[in-house]
A and B are shown apart, each in its own frame.
Chain A
């Protein structure tokens, strides 16, 4: 029997921020254990302590350069509660929704075309020089141009509703600080039909990949889990901005449903493990072993009763039909789900642009002050929880955040293990393509490990191989 070995992949490429994968091999080159390590988030809550409540929706955007709008809106929703507001004006809510749909749309488009498309088009085992967006450009330049224009459209929606791309100030406790001028509305309406058409084409691409590669999809990070998301009050429709919590088992049985998100801490427990900086949340009623769950686009497709926009609803039925209406457990089906959400967001944007409330002047309401607030939203990567307490001096005294990547922590670790066992065990040599299979499994969750800075000279990809005695046997690195 040979010596046990340890392989490290750090950081994971095409994943925001810095992550590290360690794969422990035994002496027979079989995978003994595989773990995803993420360094992040713990400093966030301390960063917020002592801040004035009015500045929190702006400051939290500094925590994340990838989904600042999601943090902005989740914090604003929590501060709505603090200032005693349970119902925004129609203009305020619709402006916030428009901002959110723009954010989800552009984030999903980036992920699919920029980060996932190279893997899907060229295969997970393709050489590194083939697996990048430039190769996609060469093969499908029109697709790439559309992706850029869809991203731009979403970013412009954000700018129009939040004020600016960095440190937007649109959502404020109790409402919004602007409406949508007619000239901006007309600008967005002028190309909305293109966005609908392109979203449908992108959906067809993702759907086609999933169905044409049934064997790969079925065998890649495919395992049962629980799912959780917000759903709309009363009817359980997909709702990315607001609603109650619903959790289902892998077979679709209800764990809890229509639970107000102010009770999240009564349903979820955040477990700490010694080897990871990131917590492992689980559903308390099921315990840590059986209670872990997944969030994100596929989880939302699994939990939603239906979608309230016609094209996306047809696509939702189509997706769920593959598993006869039961939850879809395939990690790679996230890409299909993501494109359904792009179509949904574009349909929602179209509806909102035709709504005169967006030009309304009634922007803010006030209420009786409270000491505690909760803001929960379905961010692009999944459920996002903000929870604050504020003292009489308007200073934050307590802050707890559960971000999508944390919700998915156990799921990502299981996906890594599943793929590692299938693709690395028993192999005499660890190839780059095989290691990329592990990264593909992580990327399907689009994790945002956003503690990262982006300064020049950072972000090397490092692969290290250790012997049983801790000796470094091999290392590979490249700047990315």
Chain B
């Protein structure tokens, strides 16, 4: 399993993705490969192609819940913006280039302060980060249990 946390920690709550992946890395969870980066780029497709389950962790704007967790599917958007890619686009690259179709989920953690050059998360974002971690650890345990049952 691969977890990619991404965002810019110098832009306030945009650092939620890196904070999530770094916290998880600190737990040393076996079998969970972790990558932290500023943004998703083309070569993430290579890492994705080496895993059968991929989690993208990113800050989310405008959500009324503290975090969201949903399946992500490969797609080729009509246009690509900026130097960075969306999770669906990276999955699309992995599929087109390497024939890889991993199961994938997008964990969006709600943030509130993005505009200023600022280190550190807002108080509300920190709470959401903690809630998202609790959710993810529970999900991970259940997921692994189910996979074990399926292979038994």
Nearest-neighbor residue (CB-CB) of B45 within chain A:
A148
Binds B, one of A363-371, A410-418, A452-460: A452-460
Residues of B within 8 A of A155 (CB): 43
Binds B, one of A12-20, A94-102, A420-428: A12-20
Number of inter-chain CB pairs below 8 Å: 149
- B108 interface residue per 8 A CB criterion: yes
Distance in angstroms between the alpha carbons of A457 and B60 in the assembled complex? 7
B114's partner among A61, A111, A455 (CB-CB below 8 A) is A455
Distance in angstroms between the alpha carbons of A100 and B27 in the assembled complex? 33
Interface string of A461-480 (1 = CB under 8 A from B): 10000000000000000111
By the criterion CB–CB under 8 Å, are B83 and A110 in contact? yes
- B76 interface residue per 8 A CB criterion: yes
Task: Report 24 cross-chain contacts, Cβ distance below 8 Å, ordered by A residue.
Answer: A14-B80, A15-B82, A47-B10, A59-B10, A62-B9, A62-B119, A65-B38, A68-B38, A128-B79, A147-B42, A148-B93, A448-B83, A452-B82, A454-B7, A454-B84, A455-B7, A455-B14, A455-B59, A455-B60, A456-B58, A458-B61, A461-B81, A480-B81, A480-B82
Residues of A within 8 A of B118 (CB): 47
B23 to chain A, nearest CB (A): 14
Q: Which chain A residues in 125-142 approach chain B with CB under 8 Å?
A: 128-129, 131-134, 137-138, 141
On chain B, the number of residues with a Cβ less than 8 Å from chain A's Cβ atoms is 47
A65 to chain B, nearest CB (A): 3
Kindly list 4 other residue pairs between chains A and B, CB separation below 8 angstroms, not including A47-B118, A114-B83, A454-B84. Answer: A132-B80, A166-B37, A479-B77, A480-B82
B88 to chain A, nearest CB (A): 11
Q: Which chain B residues in 87-111 approach chain A with CB under 8 Å?
A: 89, 92-93, 96-97, 106, 108, 111
By the criterion CB–CB under 8 Å, are A478 and B97 in contact? no
A41 to chain B, nearest CB (A): 9
Residues of B within 8 A of A448 (CB): 83
Interface string of A62-98 (1 = CB under 8 A from B): 1101101000000000000000000000000000000
Distance in angstroms between the alpha carbons of A167 and B7 in the assembled complex? 12
Distance in angstroms between the alpha carbons of A396 and B39 in the assembled complex? 29
- B116 interface residue per 8 A CB criterion: yes
| A456 and B61 in contact, given A141-B96, A148-B43, A166-B36 (Cβ under 8 angstroms) | yes
A456's partner among B9, B12, B59 (CB-CB below 8 A) is B59
Q: 3 closest A-B pairs (Cβ-Cβ)?
A: A62-B10, A65-B38, A480-B81
Distance in angstroms between the alpha carbons of A149 and B43 in the assembled complex? 7
Interface string of B23-41 (1 = CB under 8 A from A): 0000000000000111101
By the criterion CB–CB under 8 Å, are B111 and A455 in contact? yes
B152 to chain A, nearest CB (A): 37
Nearest-neighbor residue (CB-CB) of A114 within chain B:
B42
Distance in angstroms between the alpha carbons of A137 and B45 in the assembled complex? 13
- A54 interface residue per 8 A CB criterion: no
Distance in angstroms between the alpha carbons of A68 and B11 in the assembled complex? 14
By the criterion CB–CB under 8 Å, are B8 and A62 in contact? yes
Nearest-neighbor residue (CB-CB) of B58 within chain A:
A456
- A44 interface residue per 8 A CB criterion: yes
- B46 interface residue per 8 A CB criterion: yes
| A480 and B79 in contact, given A43-B117, A152-B46 (Cβ under 8 angstroms) | yes
On chain A, the number of residues with a Cβ less than 8 Å from chain B's Cβ atoms is 56
- A144 interface residue per 8 A CB criterion: yes
A141's partner among B43, B84, B97, B119 (CB-CB below 8 A) is B97
Distance in angstroms between the alpha carbons of A144 and B43 in the assembled complex? 10
- A246 interface residue per 8 A CB criterion: no
By the criterion CB–CB under 8 Å, are A132 and B111 in contact? no
**Residue picked from B36, B45, B59, B83, most chain A C-beta under 10 Å:** B83
By the criterion CB–CB under 8 Å, are A132 and B79 in contact? yes
A228 to chain B, nearest CB (A): 24
Residues of B within 8 A of A137 (CB): 93, 96-97
Residues of A within 8 A of B60 (CB): 455-457
Q: Which chain A residues in 110-166 approach chain B with CB under 8 Å?
A: 110-111, 113-115, 128-129, 131-134, 137-138, 141, 144-145, 147-149, 151-152, 155, 164-166
Residues of A within 8 A of B7 (CB): 453-455
Interface string of A427-454 (1 = CB under 8 A from B): 0000000000000000000001001111
B137 to chain A, nearest CB (A): 22
| A453 and B80 in contact, given A114-B42, A165-B37 (Cβ under 8 angstroms) | no
Residues of A within 8 A of B89 (CB): 134
By the criterion CB–CB under 8 Å, are A110 and B80 in contact? no
**Residue picked from A144, A167, A454, most chain B C-beta under 10 Å:** A454
Nearest-neighbor residue (CB-CB) of A40 within chain B:
B117
**Residue picked from A115, A129, A133, A165, most chain B C-beta under 10 Å:** A133
Q: Which chain B residues in 42-95 approach chain A with CB under 8 Å?
A: 42-43, 45-46, 58-62, 76-84, 89, 92-93
B123 to chain A, nearest CB (A): 18
Residues of A within 8 A of B82 (CB): 13-17, 452, 454, 459, 480
- B6 interface residue per 8 A CB criterion: yes
A453's partner among B8, B62, B83 (CB-CB below 8 A) is B8
By the criterion CB–CB under 8 Å, are B79 and A461 in contact? yes
B8's partner among A65, A114, A149 (CB-CB below 8 A) is A65
Q: Which chain A residues in 47-66 approach chain B with CB under 8 Å?
A: 47, 59, 61-63, 65-66
Distance in angstroms between the alpha carbons of A459 and B79 in the assembled complex? 12
| A478 and B42 in contact, given A454-B84, A455-B7, A456-B108 (Cβ under 8 angstroms) | no
